[in-house]
Chains A and B, each alone.
Chain A
Amino acid sequence: MSEATHPDYLECLLKSWQAKPAESLSWLNQLRAQAIDRVSTQKLPTKRDEEWRFTDISSLTRLPYRPSQPDSNLHIQDIQHLFLDEVKNRLVFVDGHFSRQLSVIANPAFTIGNLPELLSTHAPILESHLGQYARFDSNVFTALNTAFLRDGAVIIAPKNTVVAEPIHVLFIATQSEVTHYPRCLFIGESGSRVTLIEDYAALEKAAYITNAITEISLAANARAQHIRLQRESTQAFHLANCAVSLAHASNYQSISIALGSRISRYNLDVRLTDEAAECVVDGLTVISDRQLADTHTCIDHSKPGGTSHQLHKCIADDTAHAVFNGKIIVRPHAQRTNSSQSSRNLLLSKTAQVDTKPQLEIFADDVKCSHGATVGQLDQEEIFYLRSRGLSEKAARNLLTYAFGAEIISRIPVTSLRQQLEQAVLDQTQSNSL
């Protein structure tokens, strides 16, 4: 397998970049220009880069996908099956482009909309947050997304606003051989409370590239539940970065589910920038065939009294390959940090592979940190227990596999989504397992 990067891959992409957004704002144009500068000085990562050593994306360079063009042929009935009953506000992006007719904005007590529309009314707040968390100095994909930044989901929850219903941001891929650049910005002002569902789905088995960025900023005492669902086409590349910044006593709860894509890479960076911030970062990967799903998380405790808990699970069948790299940083002043991390992995076939790497960098002495990782197959004693209750071997295996994933899914606070996912995991594990 060649790791050589096609030399002009990035060049091809850059040629398609044009510095002329309709809503020219100097700060935004500047951001885009800085990003394009960074792209031209960087290279695509290869397996020789430590951060990418399990994930070979060289095949990406054989497909110099052009940025997608807006295509508004989609009707509501085409995507209705992806909707969630509890949702009152939904933003829909088709191939990265905002679709007004597929979106529903129920005149809420908070700001929600597409980035270009909000630039005139919310310029100062957007300027102070957009591009401030997902830094592009050393990440070529973040730089590319920022360079191509145009549409994007923006949600701003004002001070002390509690939004009862979850907000659904749905990115739908319809075209083959294009690259899209989804972008989300979520700002939770102090004391606000929101549930956000970030959802990547495809309507066909198309090959395309998603290069997504999400930025989340929680002010003091704000709370956010962030459910991220990657159910892209199994021929797609999904490269995503999510950067979260947590202020004093804020609380961030994240559940990331990865089911789709031929190759996916999700980087989640959570920074606890002030005292007593809390986060729960859970993940579930369920893959089969030749899928590769790589999750890199970094939880960075920089101030005292922070808490982070993480449970990441992978189920890999056939020749699928799952990667989990969980970095926890506890900086020198971050005393009384309480952090736990657990990586649990289930291999359903002899040829499936999991690489899991806890990475703890602790520079404070008064901390409580635990971590553990397991990789295994279904337990023979567990199978025997279920068979001794009358279940067939197949039913026993299916139930145990399902249960392994259901532990994460059961934590999702949105009933209809939980049901969709339970069914999806059921379908995937039952059709593929032995």
Chain B
Amino acid sequence: MIIENSPTILSVQGLRASINGTEILKGIDLTVRSGEIHAIMGLNGSGKSTFAKVLAGHSAYEVTGGIIQFEGKNLLELPPEERARAGLFLAFQYPIEIPGVANTQFLRLAYNTVQAQRGKEELDPLEFDDFVREKMKLLEMKPDFLDRSVNEGFSGGEKKRNEILQMALLEPKLSILDETDSGLDIDALKIVASGVNRLTNKDNATILVTHYQRLLDYIVPDFVHIMQAGRIVMTGGKELALELETRGYDWISANKQQAMAGVRA
């Protein structure tokens, strides 16, 4: 939801980043305010996943220019774990598997680490069990899901649900969902989307990184940004995604200028 005068959570200005000497992000500007849902769309290779990883602090990418302010802090000075503790969350496109560690152990470790940082009480295994089971209902997850190793042998849909479960536990200020819709059938997509919708509120914000419009039928964005060659080339409202769906990405190049005058200068 767009709320007038709501505080800025994320402010990105002129962000440039490269990997192994190749520049991927070539000057990104983006402002995200409390309560808003932003969608970043683009073809493969446009830089949208790189942008998500740079926000989360992936060390493979070198930031070569620009600034990122997160709730007034200089995000680029913080290692990934401190960004997470400060309230930034990235739901991975490909969540990793950790055989040998039970999902419940991992979830509790992450939860308690972030809780401790916020000066809140940590939960022991029993307390956590009650707490996490409640959150799991949100995503219609089976209880055996807690005892299995982290993501090991999970289906694509289960992995994505596990990501959203972590989002539910960590209660981030800003969630970045990287291709959360990829590999999901329509039922799983609906469950994940409804989970996300119930977690968004006027005090947090969400960035959806996606290739397809499909996800946006279920999580309705306030802003849609189109990325091309490492830049945001067009910004509009939710109708922009529909237009893109009918006209295709080719249409963008021809109409960049027109749309740049978009919803918010």
Contacts and interface: CB of A to CB of B under 8 A. Distances in A.
Whether A associates with B in a native complex is yes
Interface of A: 379-382, 384-385, 387-393, 395, 399-400, 402-407, 410
Nearest to B152: A407
Interface string B224-262: 000000000000000000000000000000000000000
Contacts of B101: 399, 402-403, 406
Instruction: Kindly list the 9 A-B residue pairs having the minimum CB-CB distance in the complex, ordered from nearest.
Output: A406-B100, A403-B100, A389-B110, A387-B80, A407-B100, A390-B113, A390-B84, A403-B101, A390-B114
Given A393-B79, A393-B81, A399-B109, A388 B56 contact: yes
Nearest to A400: B98
A390 B92 contact: no
B49 interface: no
26 contacts: A381-B96, A382-B96, A384-B59, A384-B80, A385-B92, A387-B79, A388-B56, A388-B57, A388-B83, A388-B90, A389-B166, A390-B84, A390-B85, A390-B110, A390-B113, A390-B117, A391-B110, A393-B79, A395-B113, A399-B98, A399-B109, A402-B100, A402-B101, A403-B99, A403-B100, A407-B99
Given A388-B80, A390-B114, A380 B59 contact: yes
Contact of A387 (B81, B100, B166): B81
B110 to A, nearest CB: 4
Nearest to B92: A385
Nearest to B98: A403
B84 A388 contact: yes
Contacts, number: 70
Interface in B108-133: 109-110, 113-114, 117
B84 A389 contact: yes
Interface of B: 56-60, 79-81, 83-85, 89-90, 92, 95-96, 98-101, 106, 109-110, 113-114, 117, 149, 166, 170
A205 B204 CA distance: 57
Nearest to A409: B100
A403 B56 CA distance: 24
B95 to A, nearest CB: 7
Interface hub of A380, A387, A395, A404 (most chain B Cβ within 10 A): A387
Contacts of B79: 387, 393
A390 B100 contact: no
B100 A404 contact: yes
Contacts of B114: 389-390
A393 B90 CA distance: 17
B58 to A, nearest CB: 6
A387 B109 CA distance: 11
Contacts of A403: 98-101, 149
A5 B211 CA distance: 68
A273 to B, nearest CB: 34
Contacts of B106: 389, 399
A386 B59 CA distance: 13
Contact of A391 (B59, B92, B113, B170): B113
Nearest to B150: A403
A400 B150 CA distance: 11
Contacts of B109: 391, 395, 399
B120 to A, nearest CB: 13
A388 B117 CA distance: 14
A156 B80 CA distance: 57
Given A388-B92, A395-B113, 4 more contacts: A388-B83, A390-B84, A390-B170, A402-B101
Contacts of B58: 384
Contacts of A388: 56-57, 80-81, 83-84, 89-90, 92
